[in-house]
Amino acid sequence: MYLMDFRRPSALSAARQLIIQAITRAAGRDCTVAKSKLIGMTGDEAVAQAAKICDVDVVAAYPITPQTIIVEAFSNYVASGEIKTEYVCVESEHSAMSASVGASLAGARVFTATSSQGLALMHEILYIASGSRCPIVMAVANRALSSPINIHGDHSDSMGSRDSGWVQLYCENAQEAYDTTIMAFKIAEEINMPVMVNLDGFITSHCMEGVSTIDESTVAKFLPAKKLNGWLLGEHETLSMGALCLPDYYFEFKKQQEDAMHAALPSFEKTSMDFAKTSGRSYKAVETAGDGDAAIICMSSTAGTIRTMVRDSGEKLKVIKVRLYRPFPAQQLKEALKGVKSVTVLDRACSFGAPTGPLGSDVKSVLYGMPESTRPAIRNIVYGLGGRDLNPTELSDIFAEAHKAAKSGKFTTESGFVGARE
């Protein structure tokens, strides 16, 4: 359950409030975070602080707006002696990921961060990281890809890497960025796969909000012990990693990788439950708020904006936030879509020439498996590229179209771009 009501005490009677508090506590979600414990930090600072308390061994990173503050803050912690991490100043993101792979294969707990062009530059090594089963955690402050150069938030960068075999999690705000970074290490090390923690560039990365932090000793108990696998580089006299593999066996490696990727979903769910015991905050692969026969599916910060608008305006809309994007939580999404007659999928990235945007494409694949009689009408919208805001007027129009389609059974408005000048 992802209840919003409990946070507006003035709107509830005391008795109803108590009942809701009991339910949310049972769901593992603390409904009275002590306000005095909230510390002001930006999304980037939150990620750096989370990585700081995870006992990271190696950070190899290169700065790029809007992620720069993550590595700046982290390098300050290293320079001041607050943490013992080997900080490698590399000359590009390609080297950052290469160094990360090397360190990870030697058994180190590795963290790095990038955005946009940086993620694009390290693209070939992303596949090496996942193919070599390195449990690297990387924060990506999602930013538009050039050209033209744009430093603002959209999902083009991480969507461009969605096939690279990295687990992808999307965070809505600074608190989620903090919590997800910590959970990422546990998931990565359990399944031996790299994990990408995404937060919206500028919108989350540079937005200061109140964050409830966890102390280092608690995190140490939450995270697994450091890995000392039998296959560490240097431990054996003769060992190659990522060597040539001919058609006779390559395919089986990829099958194992795909199996590991699917294991990420139960791993995320279990980690989330453990994290809820540690912090009082619980997270799901797919989160639903509100109710209605029209649904909006989106990711990251936009979900919070839409959820608030729906709650405060009394709209009858289901707001479905996809938090775990890779592996795609098909089963959870199908459950969330029960009884829904129209679905509007918001994509903050454009897959040029594709029938729909990336998230839209995955949702449609899931929906195709449903019997035609219960399959909802679907509209895919590409919005917000280059940091363009989806304003309340445009959102109201989207809601209105969603309701119309739920009544009539099909959308009369096309899928396509919303918010761009004609």
Partner 1 sequence: MPGTDRVPIMKKTTYNKPLEIAWLGRGGQGVVTACQTLTKAALLDGEYSQAFPEFGPERTGAPVRGFNRVSSEPIDVHNQIYEPDVVVVIDPTLIPLLKEMGLKPETKVIINTNEAVVGGVMGKVFTVDATRIAIDIFGKPLFNTPMLGALVKVTEVVSMDSLKTTITGRFGGEMGAKNFSAIERAHKEVKPL
Residue 209: count of CB within 10 angstroms of its CB:
16
Distance of alpha carbon 283 from alpha carbon 178, whole angstroms: 12
The first and second tokens of residue 104, run together, are 């990870």
Largest separation between any pair of C-alpha atoms in the chain: 70
Q: Which is nearer to partner 1, 313 or 412 (CB)?
A: 313
Closest C-alpha to 2, from 291, 228, 374, 259: 291
Give the SS3 label for residue 417.
Answer: strand
Whole-number Cα distances in Å, 130 to 133, 167, 290: 5, 9, 37
| Cα four-point dihedral sign 60, 61, 67, 71 | positive
Whole-number Cα distances in Å, 322 to 54, 326, 345: 25, 10, 11
By the criterion CB under 8 A, which residues form the site for partner 1? 7-8, 35-36, 38-40, 65, 151, 172-173, 200, 202-204, 206-210, 301-302, 304-305, 307-309, 311-314, 388-394, 396, 421
- Sequence-ordered list of residues with C-beta below 8 angstroms from that of 374, at least 6 positions apart, any chain: none
Residue 57: count of CB within 10 angstroms of its CB:
16
Q: Which is nearer to partner 1, 151 or 233 (CB)?
A: 151
CB of 384 to partner 1, least distance (A): 10
CB of 174 to partner 1, least distance (A): 9
CB of 304 to partner 1, least distance (A): 4
CB of 74 to partner 1, least distance (A): 19
CB of 383 to partner 1, least distance (A): 11
Residues 357 and 349: beta-carbon distance below 8 Å = yes
CB of 280 to partner 1, least distance (A): 14
Q: Which is nearer to partner 1, 134 or 349 (CB)?
A: 349
| Region class of 153: left (phi > 0), else alpha (psi between -120 and 50), else beta | beta
Distance of alpha carbon 75 from alpha carbon 83, whole angstroms: 10
Q: Alpha-carbon dihedral of residues 11, 16, 19, 25, nearest 10 degrees?
A: 0
Residues 62 and 96: beta-carbon distance below 8 Å = yes
The first and second tokens of residue 79, run together, are 């320079």
Q: Which is nearer to partner 1, 248 or 422 (CB)?
A: 422
Distance of alpha carbon 170 from alpha carbon 367, whole angstroms: 22
CB of 9 to partner 1, least distance (A): 9
Q: Which is nearer to partner 1, 84 or 421 (CB)?
A: 421
Q: Which is nearer to partner 1, 187 or 402 (CB)?
A: 402
Q: Which is nearer to partner 1, 8 or 254 (CB)?
A: 8
% helix / strand / coil in the chain, to the nearest 5?
45, 15, 40
CB of 395 to partner 1, least distance (A): 8
CB of 6 to partner 1, least distance (A): 10
Q: Which is nearer to partner 1, 245 or 400 (CB)?
A: 400
CB of 208 to partner 1, least distance (A): 4
Q: Which is nearer to partner 1, 305 or 380 (CB)?
A: 305
Displacement of CA 349 from its chain's centroid (Å): 15
Q: Which is nearer to partner 1, 38 or 78 (CB)?
A: 38
